[in-house]
Structure 1
Amino acid sequence: MKRFLMVTAVLGSALAGAAHATTVAEVKKKGVLVLGTDPTFAPFEFKGADGQIQGFDIDIARAVAKDLGVRLEIRAVGFGSLMPQAVTSGRVDMAMSGITITDERAKVVSFSQPYYRSAQVFIVRGGNPGKFAWPASVKGKVIGVQANTTGQFVATDLLKPRGATLKVYDDFAAGLADVRAGRVAALIGDAPTVADLKKRLPGQFEQAGKDLAAEDYGMVFRKGSDLAAAANKTLARLKASGEYQKLLNRWIVQK
């Protein structure tokens, strides 16, 4: 998503129990594909009313598992532990969580082909009472960013030199609460998040100004794993059959 590379030595308790599968053959042998995801990024991955993790990314991962002839196991992992440690350590077989493809990350993990083109945008309170706009009104404003995301990285490069103050959140929901309360002028997030917020919370949030940056999401695997090629085959099948568009229509495209 949004997400920028973070290096940390500590793995959360949600990672207990290693997957230890690097190849297609190993995944097929154990009969399960373990997906790591941070379920706080609707509509890509989030917990539904029944507590189950669902979303656009989850359905694509299920399709990959189906094509491999195995079941999908989903593990909720905080993003700071997910990228790249959960993948490189073999704690999960793959990761999907709106993860942006970057040259830096590609040095330590393998990506699938891009499966979604997104953009970093400014999320403001409904009606935009502060009349925030990008790039016109940044100087002197407090802008929220989620820790260790591409939004934080881009904001550090582009907004701080223009006089903005960045407020960093571990929890995206806390940033949204501050936007709603007027404690920050805007929060940087992914474009589909704005559409989802408008659908779930009518009138509370909207996008302001131009896109801050464009980015591509990819499925993530251990470096050199042939699971990336298998995921590419699934992605190509979904697009050729029309299933990919159906998933877009279900989760992302505004009706």
Structure 2
Amino acid sequence: MKNWIKKISIVCMALIMVVGVTACGSSDSGSGDSGEVYTVATEPTFPPFDTTDEDGNIVGFDMDLMNAIAEDQGFSVEFVSYNFDGLIPALQSGNADIVAAGMWASDERKAEVDFSETYFDSGVVLAVADDNNTINSVDDLTSDMKVAYQVGTSSMDVAQQLEEEGKIAEAVGFDKVNDAVQAVNTGAVDALLNDKPVTLEYMNQQPDIIKIVGENVTTESYGIAVQKGNTELLDKINAGLKNVQEDGTFDELLEKWGLAEK
């Protein structure tokens, strides 16, 4: 009788173990239908597109847009922070699947990565200290001036070209836009070249610190980037982007992040 009870106990324990293993194996790591989780690289000092909240979470228009695309297409995303000039290398090395970072889909970058359909038109502008009445446009820059830019961005190309042409003394690079803004504020540099909507956001956050002068120096359009040749993921992003634009979600996000009029 004891042997029979012992055998029953062993069988029951085995069944419990099988059920437990099956339950663990069926857990879904993402909220999407497919279970796919993609790593999205960004540079979170680029508000309102990419920034951090008071708890240190990466938030912004790009984050909400990627979450909307992911929900539409049945996959999930997680966001990781890089310096801007490290974003494309992160894709190329496979450390990230997607870049969503207010990135200009320029011809030079298209040679390195593949871009989605563009989703926002922008441009580089010149900003100076709010009390600066000497510089009113790029034409007022002189050969003794220093101009800041964010490393790896389109503003870097503009600033370095001005330096090469002798129109300014030095193009000064910063990893983060907020450090460049601070350099203008303290007088360490004379001006800043940066994307217009981001500059406007810094002006909203810190009134009377900087101001935009003159017209757009360049025009550009932002796209979402994936590794060269990853057509499967790119097709998902383009399909999701189209759907959220058509169902009104995109416009709601523009309003939420104050980009509707920018």
Of the candidates 190, 196, 201, which is equivalent to residue 206 of structure 2?
Answer: 201
Cα distance in 1 between the residues matched to 2:252 and 2:205: 20
Cα distance in 1 between the residues matched to 2:99 and 2:210: 29
Matched, 1:154 2:161: no
Contact 2:72-2:243 within 8 A present in 1 as well: no
Aligned to 1:229: 235
Cα distance in 1 between the residues matched to 2:84 and 2:218: 20
Matched, 1:253 2:260: yes
How is 1:93-112 mapped onto 2 (pairs within 5 angstroms)? 93-112=97-116
Please give the secondary structure, in 2, of the residue aligned with 1:96: strand
How far is the alpha carbon of 1:29 from its aligned partner? 5.8
How far is the alpha carbon of 1:219 from its aligned partner? 0.3
Aligned to 1:119: 123
How is 1:1-255 mapped onto 2 (pairs within 5 angstroms)? 31-83=36-88, 85-127=89-131, 129-140=132-143, 141-158=145-162, 160-165=164-169, 166-225=171-230, 226-251=232-257, 252-253=259-260
Cα distance in 1 between the residues matched to 2:181 and 2:207: 14
Cα distance in 2 between the residues matched to 1:130 and 1:142: 16
How far is the alpha carbon of 1:135 from its aligned partner? 3.1
Structure 1: any 5+ residue segments left out of the alignment? 1-26
Contact 2:127-2:210 within 8 A present in 1 as well: yes
AA in 2 matched with 1:139: T
Contact 1:38-1:97 within 8 A present in 2 as well: yes
Residues 165-219 of structure 1 show CA distances to partners (whole Å, capped at 9, x for unaligned) of 2122223222111111122111111100122112211222210112111111110
Runs (4+) off by over 4 Å: 27-30
Cα distance in 2 between the residues matched to 1:231 and 1:29: 14
Structure 2: any 5+ residue segments left out of the alignment? 1-31
Aligned to 1:6: none
Q: What TM-score comes out, normalization by structure 1 length?
A: 0.82
Cα distance in 1 between the residues matched to 2:82 and 2:239: 26
Higher relative contact order (CA 8 A, sep 6+): 1
Aligned to 2:9: none
Q: What TM-score comes out, normalization by structure 2 length?
A: 0.80
AA in 2 matched with 1:172: V
Larger mean CA deviation between 112-121 and 242-251 belongs to 242-251
Larger radius of gyration: 2
More helix by share: 2
Identity of aligned residues (%): 28
Contact 2:84-2:151 within 8 A present in 1 as well: no
Please give the secondary structure, in 2, of the residue aligned with 1:99: strand
How far is the alpha carbon of 1:111 from its aligned partner? 0.4
